[in-house]
A and B are shown apart, each in its own frame.
Chain A
């Protein structure tokens, strides 16, 4: 245990360091060193108790909250444009796949945490509406099965197109919520939405309130992920589902190298050119590297009390959808 660590330090001091630096550049070193947790965590971590990571930087926990807030405040207006540029539009497919996996029924109460610009919430509403329209079409084709009540209701247009479904969008960042609200009014989503300012680690909701809890690309910015998971467990009804869409570890070594190259060389440049903000996008790609792997995150979800936890890796592990049930 001591040996690998001092080897790492020594390799930084000698000529190996300048060779490493010249070949890999300042960011690629962690991927060229042997992975895996060889260190044993001691109980006495007082000095590092309130230290956490902000990308590759070490900061105190109070600082991290403020810094993450500033990052999202500055990227809020260009968030969607940058998502499209960085993922070449593939993020839309990932979010669609999350909805397909969710397969919500009318009447579902959804809580979308860190859902600032509303991508998941709008997709949810569209999904429910599309389901409702399909159901109406089926009914119309089989006219003779409609009761008088239903026909009368159709003429009166009383039926709620959402069937009682509702989505609560919760985000810690005011700017992201503002952008989301504007998008909602532009796209014409009026009913079935509520916007709430709140912290994922301390949700402003009662226990056993929601059927589904989703968090898409938000949980890696939370300071205490275990607390966020416990809050998720708290606010879900028994039988409720937890779904998390997040960047994860790539399992293929070739794609991993290309992905690292793209992440560290191209994405901050895109951030600078399009949004005028290099550092926020540097934080983004670093925070992706700091997030635990699919298996580790699965264990964290199980620790929070969820059962039947599964995960599905998309695009060879660039993102993963984790799902768990509160039983």
Chain B
């Protein structure tokens, strides 16, 4: 266990013939190891978080394929919003279950054969179709590193893993328009600064025609549904594979997909 290895390290440091400088370096390493809140945690000072937020925002705009930069932006700017989200989850019975059991969505935890065998129109089958059609995999999410609280680190990890489910629920493909629509929905739902920034700055590189479609139809639809639906992080998706997608959409109050995006996801 951790405490035993820590005690052993302290014992070694005390009796080893180290110089003062080496002792302090060894103690620093030990402190870092003890202070890691979860396996991938990298403790950062406020200055580092500010620099990371600015740098990742710039890099994400400069190179849209750097998804890890979007993730880092979310982690460094979302601390207080994550607390609000976590409290929302705690108030809901299904949400508390998720917080306790901490389910993860990855190729290792998903039973692909079982999902494939589900009837057409069920949530699980449609999710699998979405993954196949858009050629995405649930394993491409970077782990959380810069959040200084392990429960909040799980909350943001869950938010990232649920992103694909939202694509399925909203019927949006993974092209740039679809991603922006899902970002608007998430911005209204979660209020994460990264979602808000992504929603506002994402359309910057769009053509005028696409921008028109976005602003006239898609954004109002996304915002309207975002307000109507309860917190999407509260759904235990892993238990709802058999539920028909139409019924799930009705439960969340998601209206019909706008005609311009129908049949694409």
Could you tell me which A residues sit within 8 Å of B by CB distance?
4-6, 8-9, 12, 21, 25-27, 29-30, 33-42, 45, 47-48, 53, 56-58, 265-266, 268-270, 272-274, 276, 278-279, 289-290
Contacts and interface: CB of A to CB of B under 8 A. Distances in A.
Contacts, number: 97
Contacts of B56: 272-273
B42 interface: yes
21 contacts: A4-B20, A5-B20, A9-B10, A9-B27, A12-B27, A26-B31, A29-B27, A29-B28, A30-B21, A33-B24, A35-B21, A36-B20, A37-B20, A41-B17, A48-B16, A56-B26, A57-B29, A265-B51, A273-B72, A276-B66, A278-B145
Query: 7 shortest A-B CB distances, which residue pairs?
Result: A273-B55, A39-B19, A37-B19, A269-B51, A30-B24, A42-B17, A56-B29
Nearest to B14: A9
A8 B23 contact: yes
Contacts of B20: 4-5, 8, 33-39
B47 A5 contact: no
A1 to B, nearest CB: 9
A158 to B, nearest CB: 50
B29 A5 contact: no
B48 A9 contact: no
Contacts of A278: 42, 145
B97 to A, nearest CB: 33
Interface of B: 10, 12-14, 16-29, 31-32, 35, 42-43, 45, 47-48, 51-52, 55-56, 58-59, 66, 68-69, 72, 145
Contacts of B48: 265, 268-269
B258 to A, nearest CB: 36
Contacts of A27: 28
Nearest to B13: A9
A29 B45 CA distance: 14
A30 B51 contact: no
A279 B145 CA distance: 11
